Structure 1
Amino acid sequence: MAIEGDTKDWTWVLHRRCEECGVEAGREDPASVPALLRDAVGRWQEVLRRPDATVRPDDSTWSPLEYAAHVRDVCGVFDGRLRLMLEQDGPTFPNWDQDAAAVEGDYEHEAPARVGEELAAAGAAVADAFAAVPLERWQRRGVRSNGSEFTVETLSQYFIHDVLHHLHDVRR
C-alpha cells in the first residue's frame, strides 16, 4: 500500500513546541545545531542496526529505514538551501517533494548499512556547513517555493526539528 504524502506546513514548529516529539525548535541556538545533528546521526546509526529497521509498523507508516533515507536526503536538501542563502541574496529554493523522492528513491528497498553510511556523510557535510556560518550571516534570508521565508537561523532550527522529529517517529 502506498503511504499518503504529508501536506502539512510544519513551519509552525519555529513558534511553538511540537506536541508530537517535544522539540522546541525556535528555542534552539543555531550554534548548537551541528552538535545536535552529529548526536542525532549517531542515534540514526543505532536505529538502522535494529532488526526491525526494514519493517513498517503499519500500512500507512514508513519503516525506520525509510525515515532514515528521508533524513539522509533532508540533510542534502538543507545543505543546498544553506549554501544558496550564503551565496545569493534572497534566493528561492527549488521545490523538493519529499514524498516523490521516497518513491523515486525506493526508500523501502534500500540497504540499511548503505543508508547509514550515506546519512553519516550527508549529516557531517551539513553539520560542518552550519558550523562554518559566521555570526553576521545568520540573518540572511531565503524563501521556500511555497513562499515561507527563512533566515539561516530559522532554517537551522526547522532542519533540526525534522531530524529529531523523525527519531521520535521511529522510537514509538
Structure 2
Amino acid sequence: MWSPLEYACHVRDVCRIFRGRLEMMLREDDPVFPNWDQDEAAVEDAYNAQDPETVGRQFADEAQATAAAFDAVKSGEWDRTGRRGDGKDFTISSFARYFLHDIEHHLKDAEPARR
C-alpha cells in the first residue's frame, strides 16, 4: 500500500500518461502505447520523497490539462483507436471511461491510507 503522497504522485503521472496516449490516438492511426511500469516509476521517481506542496500543484495542473484534452476531443474522433502493448485495444471513448475508472479506483485505494 502506498502513502497518500505516493498515490498523489501516481495519479498525477496517470493523468500525464493518459493524456499522452490520448494525443497519440488523435495524431496516429491505431498507435501502440509505450509500456509504463507504475511500480518502477514510483521507485525511480522517489514518490515517497517528493515535496507534498509541489506534488499538489503538479497534480492539479496535470488533472486540468488532461480534462481539457478530453474536453477538446471532437465528435468524430471518439472512435479513433489505440492499443496497449499487451494487445488491449481502446477507442477514445472506451479509453476515457477506463481513465475515469482508474482514477476512481485509486481514490478508493488511498482511502485506508488517509485514516
TM (norm. structure 1) is 0.64
Aligned partner of residue 105 in structure 2, secondary structure: helix
Of Structure 1 and Structure 2, the greater helix share is in: 2
Residues 1:99 and 2:39 aligned together: yes
Give the CA deviation at 1:115.
0.7
Whole-Å separation in 1 of the counterparts to 2:58 and 2:21: 19
Whole-Å separation in 2 of the counterparts to 1:68 and 1:129: 20
Aligned partner of residue 82 in structure 2, secondary structure: strand
2:64 paired residue among 124, 136, 140? 124
Aligned partner of residue 57 in structure 2, secondary structure: helix
Which range moved further: 105-114 or 78-87?
Answer: 105-114
Whole-Å separation in 1 of the counterparts to 2:88 and 2:110: 28
Aligned partner of residue 92 in structure 1, secondary structure: coil
**Which residue number in structure 1 is paired with residue 48 of structure 2?**
108
**Which residue number in structure 1 is paired with residue 86 of structure 2?**
146
Report 1:16-165 matches (<5 A): 61-165=1-105
Q: Which has the larger radius of gyration?
A: 1
Stretches of structure 1 lacking an aligned partner (at least 5 in a row):
1-60
Give the CA deviation at 1:109.
1.0
* Aligned residue type for 1:93: F
Whole-Å separation in 2 of the counterparts to 1:87 and 1:101: 26
* Aligned residue type for 1:161: H
Whole-Å separation in 2 of the counterparts to 1:156 and 1:92: 17
Stretches of structure 2 lacking an aligned partner (at least 5 in a row):
none
Q: 4+ runs of 1 displaced by more than 3 Å?
A: none
Whose relative contact order is higher, 1 or 2, with alpha carbons under 8 Å and at least 6 apart?
2
* Aligned residue type for 1:98: Q
Give the CA deviation at 1:75.
0.4
Supply the RMSD in Å over aligned alpha carbons.
Answer: 0.7
Aligned partner of residue 94 in structure 2, secondary structure: helix
Whole-Å separation in 2 of the counterparts to 1:92 and 1:141: 9
Give the CA deviation at 1:141.
0.3
Q: Give the percent of matched residue pairs that are identical in Structure 1 and Structure 2.
A: 52
